[in-house]
Chain A
Amino acid sequence: MRRSSFRLVAAAAAIALAVTGCSSSGDDAANQDSEFEIFTWWASGGEAAGLQGMIDVYEAQNPDTEFINAAVAGGAGVNAKAVLQSRLDANEPPDSFQAHAGMELDGYVRGGQLEDLTSLYASEGWDEIFPADLIKAITVDGKIYSVPVNIHRANVLWWNPAAATKAGITKAPETLDEFFADLEKFKKSGIPGLALAGKGDWAIAHLLDWMLLATMGADKFEGLYNGSTSWTGPEVAAGIKNFQRALSYGNKGAGNLDWPDAGKLVTDGKAGFFIMGDWASAQWQSDGLSLGTDYTYAAAPGTVGTYQWLSDSFTLPVGAPHRNAAIAWLKVCGSKDGQDAFNPKKGSISARTDSDLSLYDDYLKSAASDWKQDRLVGSTVHGATGNNALMAAYNAAVGKYFSGGFKDNAGLAKDLAGAYEAGKA
């Protein structure tokens, strides 16, 4: 009772402050909360280090607010999501939580669990500084519900330069034809052309997502998610056929492997190409490998000039107990300082187009320059274009196809169409 009445007062005060805060656009004065709780599953490695960098920026600006990282206290990973969900459904939300930007937020938005942050975009100038394609992709019915803190690229091709030289490959394949020719070269040199990771199905789904994009191009691909391209039409059928062909060059025993295991096949020279998001680079660098000698990269074939992105973002749940502190946090998340503190450690680029590139490594520098000029397309399996229901069904469809020996192309197309319908329901 005491707690809830306190909340009421706090909420009333928060709304009052927010209203004045917005109109005067004064930032730091608005935050008088003594506590602030976020929910993330960045608990180890570069992710945790990057998050800490952002927290440092926040604490310097908000010295009176105690920062509570709930995921670390409550156990990270998948469990964190379940706990988060039960808290949201019980109307006990944290002040801010992490989720992929885009359709992954769909359920929360439809359930009215997130606040509209569009005004923050205007007051902070983010609508100018984030790329227009990104803003368009994360806008739902004219409203934006989260602040992207980073951008990962999904369509990246990785390989080991020594293995490629041995196989007689001199330059990165830019088209699917060149890609398949190179796979054949790897095969002739005695290693599988493509590293696959089947565990949990998503890394194979990641491959299909790229292959569909590479086969049909960005416009048709986006059409898959707005209903203008049919999932059972010839474009998808052609994409699946290419996918099937690529899988046939895969390593044996892929079903047991997680993506870092498959990545290791490539850096060890035991497999040729690897299609994976650019978190692979961060992983390998923390393993002590160096870019250029142990591994190298290019935009995935067939998608040169297209940047398939995914983004981690922070939100403002409806009924957040420390709303001002949360808004202060979101401002840090979207700021140049915050993003440049977070991303070099996380191994991703800033979503902003004005980041300080001197802080980033060579791969990230090139990604950042592509980010400014490429056509941007969201990733399906990482929550940008597909909501949770779609992703779960999509992964299962691909898992079924892959574990069935990748034979049933028509069945996969039908299951993918079903996944798209599941997302709409």
Chain B
Amino acid sequence: MSKIVKNKRSLSSRLGGLLFVLPSIIVVLIFVYGLILWSVNVSLTNQNSGTKKAIEYVGLKNYTDLMVDERFTHSLSNLIKFTVVFILGALITGFIMSLLLEKGIKGEGFFRSFYLYPMAISFIAMGTVFNWLLNSARDEDAGGLNLALQKIGLGFLQNDWYVSERGAMYAMALPAIWQMSGYVLALFLAGFRGIPDDMREAARVDGASESQIYRHVLFPQLTPTLLTILIILGHISMKAFDLIIGINGKSYVTQVVAVYMWEATFDKRDYAKGTSIAIVLLIMIAVVVVPYLRYNNKQQAYR
């Protein structure tokens, strides 16, 4: 008897719980998944408000066109360059900073928020500032970073930054690294803190040196943290738009996929092309994120 009552209660509480999340489920279904499907649908047509045409289904034509579109491959290669430099840069600087803070130095809280602060700045505001800092004028006309390099005697390092033909995207990654490395620091620090002190002590008792402790005890346990960071930075990087626009507008030299998508959709009003670019971008991000989510779910099931 009592068992039935208990079951009923749990059923009704489950129902209640479902009722509470239902609105957000519905909203997400419509505005995320519904609109993804909508976009997929548009990307299979020739819908283009810039030219009068009856809307017809054209299959995968938009996608095959993209593969041979020099502008698209250019923006894709720009995006890849940006992503690689940005992720490596943020990872390395963030990791080094976390190593320095990990021992629990004085004023750690201060440094943590100090380095985390850049994250509070919007990409677009930061873009405007870095637009000035990364000025390409040199020598007597120099300003920003080039001037700073001269002042500290490193004038030979003066650079064209984001207007150089080859290095533009690497320069573009600088502000992104500057902004996100504090976040990487915080994640790694949390990773370090998650490792019980007994382990270090046990290693010390076993006669391991400090560097051996890091290499064989601590680092292996940071793998999940590393994975998390890669995923987070990876999807931020692939969606890069506001930073690029803030620094260099829609200029060809630093155009990335999201900017090209914007141009196709809002300048040319070629919705079919715009949505097909968006779907390619979505797939690229999904390739990165979905395995991680599955891995994460498995981990949680173990607990």
A residues adjacent to B (C-beta < 8 A): 78, 81-82, 85, 88-89, 106-107, 110-112, 198-201, 252-256, 387-389, 391-393, 395-396, 398-400, 403-405, 422, 425
Contacts and interface: CB of A to CB of B under 8 A. Distances in A.
Contacts of B141: 252-253
Contact of B50 (A78, A198, A201, A388): A388
Looking at B50, B135, B163, B253, the one whose CB has the most chain A CB atoms below 10 A away is B50
Given A200-B250, A256-B131, A400-B253, 4 more contacts: A256-B136, A256-B163, A399-B252, A403-B165
Contacts of B135: 253, 256
Given A253-B137, A392-B263, A396-B252, A198 B163 contact: yes
B187 to A, nearest CB: 34
B231 to A, nearest CB: 30
A169 B103 CA distance: 69
A107 B293 CA distance: 43
Nearest to A403: B253
Contacts of A254: 163
A89 B266 CA distance: 12
B253 A253 contact: no
Contacts of A198: 163, 251
A399 B251 contact: yes
14 contacts: A78-B266, A106-B50, A107-B50, A107-B51, A200-B249, A201-B250, A255-B136, A255-B160, A388-B50, A389-B267, A395-B250, A403-B253, A422-B268, A425-B51
Interface string B249-290: 111110100000001001111100000000000000000000
Interface of B (DSSP majority class): loop
A422 B138 CA distance: 38
Interface in B47-64: 49-52
Given A395-B252, A399-B251, A85 B168 contact: no
9 smallest A-B Cβ distances: which pairs?
A255-B163, A399-B252, A110-B52, A253-B137, A403-B253, A107-B50, A200-B249, A253-B136, A389-B268
Nearest to A400: B252
A199 B249 contact: yes
Contact of A253 (B74, B138, B165, B270): B138
Contacts of A389: 50-51, 267-268, 270
Nearest to B132: A256
A387 B50 contact: yes
B223 to A, nearest CB: 40
Contacts of A425: 51
A403 B168 contact: yes
